[in-house]
Structure 1
Amino acid sequence: MLYGSIEAGGTKFVCAVGDENFKVIDQTQFPTTTPDETLAKVIRYFNKFDINAFGIASFGPIDVDKNSETYGWIIKTPKKGWSNIDFLGKMKESFNVPMLWTTDVNGSAYGEYISAKKNDENVKSVAYITIGTGIGMGGVINGDFLGVMGTPEFGHIKVKRHRDDLDFKGICPWHGDCLEGVASGPTFEARDGIEGRQTPINDPKWNIIAYYVAQAVVDLTVTFRPNKVVLGGGVCTPEFIAKVRAQFTLLFNNYLSVGSLEKYITAPEIAHNGSATFGDFVLAKKALDEKDNI
């Protein structure tokens, strides 16, 4: 039994093949260029294997409504050339196997949910926030994804502005200073021309970003009530996550019990950015099992 994982990002695609134990047996990655060129590489790679089912986790926004005429499409996206692309349809033209289609951050959330549940069977829900080029959130409740009409566009919630950041207008082309507009990776350079990876952790901008992300965790805590919140993506170093915990403590003021913050607000449990790949393998099996049960 072989499962295929496609982690489709706006910068790169990561494709992997896993066995029945969800262990990676082969993997490749390549830059995200045009849809035709990129998807041709995906199909060429997986044609070398006898794949039984796929878990596909894509950047978006995407259409996940199975009753929609554009189900399986990447729809209105800021990624140039990728709007209105029938991603799932192109895969089905080449592979007649079950496929589970979701967002890139949902794939990561599912991987972290399964991992957390293995360690503690009382875990019922996990939220995963990815903070990198953009900001996204995936939520899993009792094995199901949060969102029915579509997947959450959590990066576009509004946040209270930090008093030392009021002059920054934000970079979101639609909303300006939404969460993604003030806290995603590119906002470092937009503020002063210096990338986040070149910004020392003691620079005040890190505290400003942590303030915004902590607000997002507060919002999740009072609405979703997850067992844990995982922070992933290029911005989320251990030092940054510690800053988010500190800001969360100040903002939340012990309103509800969330237990140990070290266990509640965490980095991904799955090493080497493997959350989405592992999650995709499990979702591929789920797609196969659901087909067999029809």
Structure 2
Amino acid sequence: MRRIGAVELGGTKAVVGAAVMEGTGRPQSIETVRIPTTSPEETLARCAETLRELGGRMGGLDAVGVASFGPLQLDPHRPEYGSITRTPKPGWAGAPVRDHLANALGVPVAIDTDVNGAALGEGRWGAARGLDSHVYVTVGTGIGVGVVVGGRPQHGLVHPEGGHLLVRRDPARDPYAGHCPYHGDCLEGLACGPAIEARVGRPATELADDHPVWDLVGDYLGQMAANLLFALSPQRIVIGGGVGGRLGLLDRVRHHAERHIGGYIDHPVLTQGLTGFIVPPGLGGEAGLAGALALGWAHLETVSA
């Protein structure tokens, strides 16, 4: 039985929690506190103070997991390991998230991206439970993609940046040039919430379910799903987020993904309209914090192995 602290560090708020965990069972009771994301110094100090308080009620923490917005430096051999790298959020570039919390609390701190954390949580306790490989996609203000293989979040040269996959845009059908300041009409540039609003002049939340833009978004996310299948061959793709959870959108994504796959891959899970392959989250809005808990637990498993 281990006492794990968790931080879901977002661009506007941080959710801090702690739970007593045993084995791979989903924690039944997680006490949480929400903290506004202001400056790195103030936010991380308040996170550490809250973790110290929550952990004190349990007799102290054994480890902390952090699922953070990024980009992050996740190479443990680099001196800036656990820090935020290039980010448009003012003041946060170079913020030493992991080191700050580890030094303040005196316990091991595991860190990964928010989407890798959510992917790990969905694999432990949610819609991808029991699978060896899966992908978690969040579609909202931006688009993030977390990849888990063999029960572990994937890193390489950097962490996955699937939101910037290049997709095919038909200018006659969709003249919008794209929202992304780096790539224009990449996936995020075409299908995130701000891209939808810029294209139609209204927030996505105000659009009817049959608005034509949803078929465009479904097509771009369907292309993403087909590309992920071809490149990574995951057993399941979980799609969530404020835009990703839009009623009826997953059906459009499945339809277009099946069209883009074109019958090339023959597998039983790719039948019945891909309903078993592209699915909604099992943890809902708790995926990020659950992922942070899973990161802390996984770190302790690695150390004790």
- TM-score where L is the length of structure 1: 0.93
Equivalent residue for 2:270, pick from 246, 256, 259: 259
Residues 178-189 of structure 1 mapped to structure 2, 5 A cutoff? 178-189=186-197
In 2, the alpha carbon distance for the partners of 1:218 and 1:289 equals: 34
- 1:162/1:211 contact within 8 Å kept: no
- Per-residue CA deviations over 1:70-104 (Å, capped at 9, x if unaligned) read 11110001222211111111111211112211000
Structure 1 residue 128 displacement after superposition: 0.6
- 1:110/1:276 contact within 8 Å kept: no
Structure 1 residue 125 displacement after superposition: 0.4
Residues 236-251 of structure 1 mapped to structure 2, 5 A cutoff? 236-237=244-245, 238-251=247-260
Aligned to 1:18: 19
In 2, the alpha carbon distance for the partners of 1:280 and 1:142 equals: 18
Unaligned stretches of 5+ in structure 2? none
Deviates more, 1:196-205 or 1:156-165: 156-165
Deviates more, 1:139-148 or 1:284-293: 284-293
SS at match of 1:2: strand
Residues 1-294 of structure 1 mapped to structure 2, 5 A cutoff? 1-21=2-22, 22-48=27-53, 49=55, 50-115=60-125, 121=130, 123-237=131-245, 238-256=247-265, 257=267, 258-260=269-271, 261-271=274-284, 273-293=285-305
- 2:122/2:128 contact within 8 Å kept: no
Identity over the aligned pairs, expressed in percent?
33
- 2:127/2:279 contact within 8 Å kept: no
Structure 1 residue 259 displacement after superposition: 2.9
In 1, the alpha carbon distance for the partners of 2:92 and 2:42 equals: 12
Stretches of 4+ aligned residues off by more than 4 angstroms? 116-119
In 2, the alpha carbon distance for the partners of 1:181 and 1:259 equals: 28
SS at match of 2:223: helix
- 2:19/2:31 contact within 8 Å kept: yes
Deviates more, 1:273-282 or 1:104-113: 273-282
Counterpart AA for 2:136: Y
In 1, the alpha carbon distance for the partners of 2:237 and 2:293 equals: 22
- 1:117/1:124 contact within 8 Å kept: no
Deviates more, 1:70-79 or 1:252-261: 252-261
Structure 1 residue 117 displacement after superposition: 8.7
Structure 1 residue 116 displacement after superposition: 5.6
In 2, the alpha carbon distance for the partners of 1:157 and 1:100 equals: 27
- Per-residue CA deviations over 1:108-134 (Å, capped at 9, x if unaligned) read 100111236985x4x210101111111
- 2:118/2:289 contact within 8 Å kept: yes
In 2, the alpha carbon distance for the partners of 1:205 and 1:126 equals: 28
Q: Over the residues paired in the alignment, what is the CA RMSD in angstroms? A: 1.7
- 1:196/1:235 contact within 8 Å kept: yes
In 2, the alpha carbon distance for the partners of 1:276 and 1:47 equals: 20
In 2, the alpha carbon distance for the partners of 1:38 and 1:193 equals: 34
Counterpart AA for 2:293: F
- Per-residue CA deviations over 1:18-49 (Å, capped at 9, x if unaligned) read 11142333012133222122112211211102
- 1:43/1:91 contact within 8 Å kept: yes
Structure 1 residue 235 displacement after superposition: 0.5
- 1:109/1:279 contact within 8 Å kept: yes
Equivalent residues, number: 290
Counterpart AA for 2:152: D
